[in-house]
């Protein structure tokens, strides 16, 4: 009995966890092509609607990836990418939407992205306010109608494929917290509830997060924002 318990402890990765991370942040201290956080979503069917919210801080002046969801069909199934000082790019399957921020980027920011394939809507909310969208580079194609249920999600890196493949020049140096994901499009009222902490994700929930840390990423108490 004691031997079987010891073997189980040896094969379970020490970086694998599921816990309440309220009041904590993931810290990405340096540029790297290995460090990232893997999220374990609860998805049982293809998604036609998705909402992703998170808080982030970085002083990088180069572009970097915040959130990257890949499927076997598409490495950019749902990707949030920031190009300082004011440009956000959202990649959803074969579609790209470009948004412009309107304030100093080097502060903590609360970001929400909502996508509704049925009504062809992609929206970016920054600190609770709807952001201006530029014309998309590509229009939605048929395979943008849904996101496969079998997906892989990482924070702080851009997945080049379902299995991995990262580029240090696109890595985040900074912090991420309060990550939540829903299988529906949030309303403006929902966004305000998320910001105040009264609404939590039903696919990924920061207060009950299943995740795995890879490389040099630390979980620390959240600073005053």
Query: By the 8 A CB rule, do 82 and 88 touch?
Result: yes
CA 151, distance to chain mean position in Å, is 13
Model confidence at 112, pLDDT cuts 50, 70, 90, reads: very high
Average pLDDT rounded to a whole number, residues 131-143:
55
For residue 122, give every residue at least 6 positions away whose Cβ sits within 8 Å of its Cβ, in sequence order, or none. 90, 92, 95, 97, 113, 114, 115, 116, 133, 136
Distance in angstroms (rounded) separating the CA atoms of residues 94 and 117: 12
DSSP 37-67: EEE-----S-BSEEEEEEEEEE--SS-EEEE
Query: What separation in angstroms does the CA of 176 have from each of 5, 187, 220?
Result: 35, 23, 11
Predicted local distance difference test score (pLDDT) of residue 8: 33
Positions of E strands within 45-182: 49-58, 64-71, 78-83, 87-92, 95-100, 109-116, 121-126, 129-130, 132-138, 151-155, 174-182
Select the more confidently predicted residue: 213 or 13: 213
Q: How far apart are CA 219 and CA 197, in angstroms?
A: 20
Class of the 18-221 domain? mainly beta
**Tell me: the pLDDT tens digits for 66-103?**
999 988 888 889 999 999 988 999 999 878 889 988 76
Q: Are 49 and 180 in contact (CB under 8 A)?
A: no
pLDDT grade for 206, boundaries at 50, 70 and 90: very high
Query: Under 8 Å CB-to-CB from 44, ≥6 apart: which residues?
Result: 149
* 39-50 average pLDDT score: 88
Q: What is the pTM of this model?
A: 0.87
**Three-class DSSP category at 4:** helix
pLDDT tens per residue, range 25-41: 999 999 999 999 999 88
What Cα–Cα distance (Å) separates residue 177 from each residue in 44, 165, 171?
Answer: 25, 23, 16
């Amino acid at each position: 009995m004691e031997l079987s318990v010891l073997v189980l402890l040896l094969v379970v990765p020490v970086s694998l966890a599921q816990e309440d991370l309220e009041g904590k942040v993931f810290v990405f201290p340096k540029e790297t092509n290995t460090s990232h956080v893997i999220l374990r979503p609860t998805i049982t069917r293809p998604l036609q609607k998705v909402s992703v919210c998170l808080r982030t801080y970085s002083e990088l002046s180069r572009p970097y990836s915040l959130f990257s969801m890949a499927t076997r069909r598409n490495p950019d199934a749902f990707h949030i990418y920031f190009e300082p000082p004011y440009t956000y790019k959202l990649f959803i399957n074969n579609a790209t939407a470009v948004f412009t921020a309107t304030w100093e980027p080097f502060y903590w920011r609360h970001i929400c992205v909502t996508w509704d394939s049925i009504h062809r809507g992609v929206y970016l909310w920054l600190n609770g306010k709807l952001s201006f969208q530029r014309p998309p580079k590509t229009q939605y194609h048929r395979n943008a109608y849904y996101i496969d249920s079998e997906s892989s999600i990482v924070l702080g890196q851009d997945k080049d494929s379902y299995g991995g493949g990262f580029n240090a020049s696109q890595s985040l140096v900074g912090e991420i917290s309060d990550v939540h994901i829903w299988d529906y499009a949030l309303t403006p009222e929902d966004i305000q509830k998320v910001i105040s902490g009264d609404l939590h994700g039903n696919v990924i929930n920061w207060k009950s997060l299943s995740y795995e840390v890879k490389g040099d990423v630390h979980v620390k108490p959240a600073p005053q924002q």
